[in-house]
Structure 1
Amino acid sequence: MPIDLIIDTDPGADDVVALLLAMASPAELKLRAITTVAGNVRLEKTSRNARLAREWGGRPEVPVYAGAGRPLLRTPIYAAHVHGSEGCPGVPVYEPTAPLAPGNAVDYLIETLGKVPEQSITIAMIGPQTNLALALIQAPEIVRGIKQVVVMGGAHFNGGNITPVAEFNLFADPHAAQVVLDSGVPLVYVPLDVTHKMLTSESRLAQIAALGNRAGQLVGSILEEYVKPDMLHYGLPGGPVHDASVIAWLLRPELFSGRKVHLWIDTREGPTFGQSIADWYGKTGLEKKVLWLLEGDAQGLFDLLCERLARLD
């Protein structure tokens, strides 16, 4: 039975790759909607890029709802220095044919989660968690409709990618992440601890290029450009494709391993703002509510990505 899925996203290069992977997997993922949030770039650009990904993925029936244009409390930040000024490096961007769905992403989440059977919908959150946090603040009872929330975010052993200790998606709206964490929804975290092990390489990029279709060309061009800053900054042999790991976990959880932990999000102003603190060794004895992933099969991820991209035009 396919996973009933909503993807909340801020495209972003790796978000586009994740969306294409999801849209190429209809037998396993029943994609109800894509909801967009400001993050890697401003909302109007993340919403356009989500619609571009929908067009490239050949899934015009999937609605795209625009959501929050700024975080709950903090000053907005963006990551154009990584994703380029348009949020989709390496490929030309343009105005897609199909428009946004009418209405707002937060309202869509409230209405949808309030109507579905108990614990039925999975939400893949591959950007700041503002939309779901706003929905939970306005209608906390919608928790009942959520099966699980899978978050690309956080860092513990790895260190941060926007500050020494904070990962970008959590740093962009830590207060929202804390709202979602406090709601009691079942959570899976796909942090930098694992995504920084799921790296591109010359052979993996060649594997994508060898597909010979438009989807392979798009993903190859995006990744060729997107991974350069991380390779240079971290001295890595390849670059991480963070958000694709969330979709890969949904499709092939056996590619990953981790453990349940107690988790905190630091919302205090100061040098640890946005830090995720995972009680990996159970030192506090507090309830372990979050599955925190640590290891993954990088070649398995790229094999899966290529298998699915081959299904697209």
Structure 2
Amino acid sequence: MLPALGWLALVALGAPAIRAAAPVDVWLDVDTSTGISDVDDGLALIQAFHSPELTIRGISTVYGNAPLADATRIAREVLKKFGPAGLAIHPGAAASRELGEDNEAVRALAAALGERKLTILALGPVTNVGTLLKRRPELTPRIERIVVVAGCRPGQKFISSESQRVPHRDFNFENDPEAMQVILDSPAPLTLAPWEVSSQVWIARDDLARLRATGGSGEWIADTSQYWIERWERGISPRGFNPFDTLAVGWVTHPALIKSEPASVRIETATDDRDPRKTKPYLLVTPHDSKGRQAIYCYQPLDGFQPLLMRRLAGKSPEQR
């Protein structure tokens, strides 16, 4: 966390940042829930809109932190307020049971892949992506990479603070492990931007106050995140909240700012870390294991990521990003 005026000073100076070599063509699949639950998908959309390293070729929605209708409505609101012209929001799966069923999101993503290769940022449950791979496996070579917000090391518990009594779920994965298995069974390159990396980035009340002072998207974020930071302060940590999905976007735009390593990935069933009377599936990684399904595992943001994220959320002009 930067001291007061820290990242705003960087904005004013137009501090340079490490950038990807060329714009990356991306598709965003989101479960936007600002005003209902987690604000991170809305933040990630605004971050992506303000990232010149990306060319956004499409956006789809999926159930998750909000019902599909709400996720779609909220994504359309964010796009209308802050996104580029010419994009539409394509609704997808409303539940994990719809894995393999055709929907608008899958058709739109398939059409976009027919035009060019894409990196898919799957920021919610991966039902839409799994459905695409099941229905249109011939398009797999058109996928440059799938970036998923999920995964953990064996025995790792998602505890953000000492006061947190119950671990977070590996929410996106646990909502549709079958769809994740479809991804693992495919040859599509895979990156995991899990809780481990996002748990090291915090948005605090001071950050929201400074965002509000910038106006525009920053003011909107500050206004629409108050209920979320209050919920975290009551039940998880007085530090603020973790903006989970923004680390996935950040890895694509500025991979040098997020440490990552090769890992093998698998799904295993074990005792539920939230209720020892039950079992549940886990998306497990073993770093530097060359056997089995391979992926890139993100595990540590560098110091430059937090101020970069704040600048992107504030919507500064390109020379200040």
What's the TM-score, normalizing by structure 1? 0.80
For residues 56 and 232 of structure 1, the distance between their equivalents in structure 2, rounded to whole angstroms, comes to 30
Partner of 1:6: 27
User: Given the alignment of the two structures, is residue 116 of structure 1 paired with residue 115 of structure 2, yes or no?
Assistant: yes
Partner of 1:159: 157
Equivalent position SS for 2:55:
strand
User: Given the alignment of the two structures, is residue 68 of structure 1 paired with residue 93 of structure 2, yes or no?
Assistant: yes
Deviation per CA, 1:211-258: give whole Å up to 9, x if none: 1x1211111123332233334433352210011111122111121102
Letter in 1 for 2:28: I
Structure 2 counterpart of 1:44, from 48, 69, 72: 69
- In the alignment, is the contact (CA less than 8 A) between 1:38 and 1:69 conserved in 2? yes
For residues 229 and 248 of structure 2, the distance between their equivalents in structure 1, rounded to whole angstroms, comes to 18
Letter in 2 for 1:290: A
User: Given the alignment of the two structures, is residue 209 of structure 1 paired with residue 212 of structure 2, yes or no?
Assistant: yes
Structure 1 counterpart of 2:256, from 254, 257, 262: 254
The share of aligned pairs that are identical, in percent, is 25
Partner of 1:276: 283
User: Given the alignment of the two structures, is residue 15 of structure 1 paired with residue 41 of structure 2, yes or no?
Assistant: yes
Equivalent position SS for 2:28:
strand
Q: 1:273 to 1:127 in 2, by over 3 A?
A: same
Q: 1:186 to 1:272 in 2, by over 3 A?
A: farther
Equivalent position SS for 2:220:
helix
Letter in 2 for 1:188: T
- In the alignment, is the contact (CA less than 8 A) between 1:150 and 1:187 conserved in 2? yes
Deviation per CA, 1:152-211: give whole Å up to 9, x if none: 123336524798584111111111111112112111111001111111124322332231
Partner of 2:228: 226
For residues 187 and 67 of structure 1, the distance between their equivalents in structure 2, rounded to whole angstroms, comes to 21
User: Given the alignment of the two structures, is residue 130 of structure 1 paired with residue 145 of structure 2, yes or no?
Assistant: no
* Structure 1 unmatched ranges of 5 or more: 75-102
Partner of 1:24: 50
* Structure 2 unmatched ranges of 5 or more: 1-21, 34-38, 160-164, 273-277
Deviation at 1:21, TM superposition (A): 0.9
1:135-146 aligned at under 5 Å gives the runs 135-146=132-143
User: Given the alignment of the two structures, is residue 289 of structure 1 paired with residue 294 of structure 2, yes or no?
Assistant: yes
Partner of 2:265: 263
- In the alignment, is the contact (CA less than 8 A) between 1:173 and 1:274 conserved in 2? no
- In the alignment, is the contact (CA less than 8 A) between 2:216 and 2:314 conserved in 1? no
> RMSD of the TM alignment (CA)?
2.6
